[in-house]
Amino acid sequence: MWFNPSIVILSMALWCIPASGSAIPNPVPVPMPVPAPDSRGTSTLKQATRDQIIARNKRPSKRATPSPTPAPSSVTSDYLKYGLYFSGSGVIETDSNPGNNVAGKNPVTINIPGTTPQNTAIQRCADQTFSLSGVYYQFQIYFDQPTTGNGDGTWMCTSYYNGNSNPAYFNVQRATASPVFGYTRSN
């Protein structure tokens, strides 16, 4: 005796059809699960009012902490190349360093706005160092955030006449200085 599987499946399908002619039985409602209680209470979205939006836009902006973007290993100003020899935080270079040992060639410090991106501030400091009379060969630059946390910090750039490549001179504690970089002439 020979069986055709298609005929068997068709017979079973026809046998399951109810007499009313409907192929789909009435669905049985399934209750929805109850959500678990929320420890924060009920959550509702609140629409901000026009006055709240205006007040938010008028608040002074705060500069974020500088990103951990690595400082360039060297920076060039005109023909002079400065190489990175120190990178850290919490300490700055003492003025009693080998780069500050020529009478009449005192360290020169400038402020660069805190909103300036890190590598742009480093380039400005190198340009400042190069432009000084007699060409200065070393500089330190660090971001100084006010201890109050209010307002923008400032990039502090100090140029020294002679070169120095000894990171041991970065020994003056300054908790608000971060990041801190030291560059000296490398060509």
**Is-contact 160 99, C-beta < 8 A?**
yes
What pLDDT is recorded for position 113? 93
Q: Is the peptide bond before 98 cis (omega within 30 degrees of 0)?
A: no
In this prediction, residue 119 carries a pLDDT of 95
Q: Which of 71, 72, 107, 84 is nearest to 186 (CA)?
A: 84
DSSP 66: P
Q: Measuring CA to CA, which residue among 106, 105, 140 is closest to residue 122?
A: 140
Which pLDDT tens digits describe the chain residue by residue (187 residues)? 555 655 656 555 555 555 555 555 566 676 766 666 656 655 566 777 878 777 777 766 555 555 568 999 999 999 999 999 999 999 999 999 999 999 989 999 999 999 899 999 999 999 999 999 888 999 999 999 887 666 678 999 999 999 999 999 999 999 999 999 999 999 8
157 CB contacts (<8 Å, ≥6 apart)?
Answer: 109, 110, 111, 112, 121, 124, 125, 128, 129, 139, 140, 141
* Segments making up each domain of the chain, as ranges: 74-185
Q: Do the beta carbons of residue 119 and residue 77 sit within 8 Å? A: no
| pTM check: above 0.85 | no
Nearest to 156 by CA among 144, 169, 174: 144
